[in-house]
Amino acid sequence: MNDKEQFFSGAIIDIRPEEEKEKDYHFGEIVAATNPVNWVEKPQNAWRKFPIFNQDGSGSCVAQTLAKLLGILYWLKNQLYVHFSATHIYQRRSNKPSGGMAGVDAFNIARKGVTLEELVPSQDMNDSQMDGTEIPQYKQDVGSVFKIGNYVSLPIKDIDTIASVIQTTGKAVMVWFYFNRDEWADVPIIKYPDLNLYAGDTSRHSVTAIDFTLYNGKKALIIEDSWGQFFGLNGQRVITEDFFRVRNWFAAYPINFAFEDQTQPQPEPQPSPGPGKPKYTFTKPLVFIPWDSAKNQPADASLHESQKTDVITLQNILKYEGHFPSNVSSTGYYGSVTAKAVYAFQVAHKVAPLSELDSLRGRRVGEKTIKVLNEIYSL
């Protein structure tokens, strides 16, 4: 693949087995309802803007996007924008030496840390230059300071959820699109309704959603590309809902989960008191349900509804014990975040032999776990 082709094909198809994909964290498990978006028309000079990157002829768009997400996270926390190195991310891709990168791969790399652009340059470089850059250990050690805790997959083709995340958190969101090259204009349009995501000549590209607006009366995202400031609207593009609903195929953003073990003595002075120790009697098994990304809902909706009330209380108990994040909602969806917390609870309370617990990894709350839960928390 030549440089020009890689330029348009940096976001690669996720080929992980389904059992691996089921481990991903989904937005629907940690947010019960999105905040309504204040859709108003913003003039271009009011759009948020960050440094525009240039991947040149490389397939590093995913790494460039993630480097910008990290920079915006640092800016939110410290009121200072720091440029992180896309090369340090891209060099560690699992499909190397092939070009392009998977989104989950990039986020998992960022959990280990990313060094600074001034130490490891990544702009205006092709794949050979990025892969050939030597990164001494001390530069990698600097990167260990800057890492994300986790990441959450967002529903695809849902512009309101993306805008709500930006509005509520101030963060940016990694969004992927597929298109024919002549569709990717300042305001991308659909010229080929039958374009196939999986076709060999289809362009698949990662960009950063940094703002939202009404554009000619339509909902739209403002994205920053990594093709330099002379492409698009000084490096930005307007993605209208019409384009987004058809051509978006991946979205995710970084999140740091907070955990608070309220079963242990609390330091003085204590923060404002929480809801206290939960009280509940469990009467039936609870099970993990895969997420249906196409429908943006639990794969077994009826099972989800039948166990939702029990799972909400289970999540509150797991929060109380410090196993489930305290800074997210108890939604009642038994997904990967809940399964990981259930496993931690089962191990901590020695619910069953470790070999038995390892075989399920928290994907079921059965008779033995219910017995322990009720001994501690029953009404």
Residues 251-294 have pLDDT tens digits of 999 987 665 666 665 555 444 445 689 999 999 999 999 999 88
Report the sign of the C-alpha dihedral through residues 356, 30, 149, 291, in that order.
positive
Which of 255, 275, 309 corresponds to the end of one domain?
255
Task: List, edge to edge, every strand of the sheet that includes 203-215.
Answer: 150-153, 248-255, 173-179, 203-215, 218-224, 236-240
Q: Name the residue type at position 241.
A: E
Q: What is the pLDDT of residue 259?
A: 57
Assess whether 9 and 77 both reside in one domain.
yes
Which of 202, 236, 255 corresponds to the end of one domain?
255
pTM for the model stands at 0.85
Distance CA 335, CA 28 (A): 9
- HSE-CB for 252 with a 13 A CA cutoff: 25
Q: Phi, psi (5° rounding) for residue 233?
A: -95, 80
Dihedral angle, C-alpha 22, 23, 29, 31, nearest 10 ° = -120
Residue 99 lies in a domain: yes
Q: What is the pLDDT of residue 243?
A: 98
In this prediction, residue 33 has a pLDDT band, given cuts at 50, 70 and 90, of: confident
Q: Which pair of tokens denotes residue 325?
A: 């994040």
Supply the CATH number for residue 72's domain. Answer: 3.90.70.10
Q: Which domain holds residue 360?
A: 286-377
Which has the closest alpha carbon to 85: 48, 136, 124, 123?
A: 123
Residues 300-328 have pLDDT tens digits of 999 999 999 999 999 999 999 999 998 88
Assess whether 185 and 95 both reside in one domain.
yes
Q: Which residues, at least 6 apart from 320, have a Cβ–Cβ distance to it below 8 Å?
A: 262, 263, 274, 277, 278
Supply the CATH number for residue 365's domain. Answer: 1.10.101
Assess whether 100 and 186 both reside in one domain.
yes
Say how many C-beta atoms besides its own lie within 10 A of residue 268's C-beta.
Answer: 5
